[in-house]
A and B are shown apart, each in its own frame.
Chain A
Amino acid sequence: MDVTTSITGFVALYIFMLAAFTGYEIIGRVPAILHTPLMSGSNFVHGIVVVGAIYALMNATNPLEQGIGFVGVLFGAANAAGGYVVTERMLEMFKPSDKKKA
């Protein structure tokens, strides 16, 4: 926790508040047809947790912490990769009607 510039209580609250509004605004105007891909897409985005798990594992000092950190990185990586693949597969199928239909 001493590695990066510290984020004190109120700065953290500002970050959380602005991020919460951002999430709300992004989803608020989305057509229903994109709800599932967006849920999957947001599922992918919280896969960023893998970065935190890598930090925890790097700073592990005993086998217990190493073990927990290892599983954490494994889980986080699966979250990120799985979320990405499934979302991309869904989105690549959305196409407008092109040539046919008068």
Chain B
Amino acid sequence: MNPNLIIDASYFAAAFLFIYGLKRMSSPVTARSGIQVAGLGMAVAIIASFLYFFNVSEEAKPHVVTNAILAAIALLIGLGWAWSSGKKVAMTAMPQMVAIYNGLGGGAAALIAAVELLGGHATGTIELVVTILGALIGSISFSGSVIAWAKLDGRINKTWRVKGQQLINGTVMLITLAIGAYIIFGAHGQAPTALVIAFFAGALVFGVLMTMPIGGADMPVVISLYNAFTGLAVGMEGFVLQNPALMIAGMVVGSAGTLLTLLMAKAMNRSVSNVIFSNFGVSGDEQQGEIKGSQKPADAGDAAINMRYASKVIIAPGYGLAVAQAQHKLYEFVKLLQDAGVEVKFAIHPVAGRMPGHMNVLLAEAGVPYDLIFDMEDINGEFKEADVAIVIGANDTVNPAARTNKSSPIYGMPILNVDQAKQVYVVKRGQGKGYSGVENELFFADNTNLVYGDAQKVMVSMIQAIKSLEGGH
């Protein structure tokens, strides 16, 4: 039996299962089976790939047993580490885990290219161009994702930025491209090792330089962009290896990831190039106008009772809710309100949490059914009719300055219209600013009261207030 036939058939099956799986993932009802279908495809492809054992090049024959053992060991370590870390990671820390797994994929694509280039395996011009491009994109995705992970994980806090940064970035990119061009057209793939290393070093440094100046609030867009990058790099190395499974899977992810990146950037009312090249995040506190009014505190119990007798309450949760691990308490409170006949809805800003849809995941984790949860466009018209809007751990996504204040750095970003509700409560820890560093006019509005405290503790006092009310008559 020809092992190649089995390998090819397995890859065909894997490509089909990936696409079918992704398709099923695009509806909440079938999503879970979707990832399982795709997972089956992956298992089939990985097992089949060990059949290469019977079909290596002549020069590699003496090494093939060692190579196979090495492959098995690497596979087991990689699978084991990622499986256990993925099981353990808290849902709030999920975006940075996606970033790191994605970066590793980009790194793997770059390493495949490194083997091709260092061994002088790739020779044709087209083959070399594609190898070099894949190496470049994969390396940038790798080092950039590592920086994105470190930033989101709080390991790098400052936004590193120097004068003439774009000039430096541009220079590094040009030098890297020049080396790449020499490897292709000058050395025809037989470049000295030092040059190949210099090429990869340049690409890796560029990934770091490109990611360092980007503020934390923009990181989801960047992660999504690198996800698309890795897809493209994988697709390109798939062409070099003449492997259609890599080509198809890589390119599907490349285009899907690009679209997802554009959707995310659009939700923040910014273009992708704006995210990457502009200096959002630190320039924020420069030109802010005076805000009139004062912040009025409110007691958690009073706020709870007010909501208990409202007819419609809309909740605008943000990342602060998840950080305080208050989702479960919040849902308990919501159920009490529902039992009292209050109509409760959740309003989710497209970038609530740290990624589009991240808040939905966090609420789902707490058991909140997804038919109580509404996207911004669907619910923004309803705030006018709401008696109470309660903002928990959100800030920039409810800042009316985005609508009115042209000098605000978040001007133009679509926001939740919580300020249109009759009464607004804002649960927050202190008088700090939001992730973007912008002061929030909402907190000073006449119809806004602030409930200070840790979100979880506030939710507990709210639940107690309702329960003692029910028990007391």
Contact = CB atoms under 8 A, between A and B. Distances in A.
Interface string A14-50: 0110011111101111111111111111111111111
B101 A59 contact: no
A66 B49 CA distance: 17
B237 A76 contact: no
Interface residue range, chain B = 35 or more
Given A1-B242, A52-B234, A66-B63, A24 B357 contact: no
Contact of B242 (A6, A22, A61): A6
B243 A52 contact: yes
A30 B25 CA distance: 9
Interface residue range, chain A = 35 or more
B25 A91 contact: yes
A76 B105 contact: yes
B286 interface: no
Contacts, number: 417
Contacts of A58: 52-53, 56, 60, 64, 67-68, 71
A80 B350 CA distance: 27
Interface centre among A26, A70, A74 (most CB of B within 10 A): A74
A88 B8 CA distance: 28
Contact of A1 (B29, B50, B52, B121): B121
Interface string B56-86: 1101100110111011011111111111011
Interface stretch (B35-43, B276-284, B465-473): B35-43
5 contacts: A23-B253, A33-B373, A33-B375, A42-B253, A86-B101
Given A37-B31, A75-B107, 9 more contacts: A27-B259, A34-B28, A42-B227, A42-B252, A42-B256, A89-B91, A90-B361, A93-B364, A96-B371
Interface of B: 4, 7-8, 11, 14, 18-19, 21-23, 25-29, 31-32, 34-36, 38-39, 42, 45-46, 49-50, 52-53, 55-57, 59-60, 63-64, 66-68, 70-71, 73-83, 85-87, 89, 91, 94-95, 97-98, 100-102, 104-105, 107-109, 111-112, 114-116, 118-119, 121, 126-127, 223-224, 227, 230-231, 234-235, 237-257, 259-260, 263-264, 267, 335, 338, 348, 350, 353, 355-358, 360-361, 364-365, 367, 369-373, 375
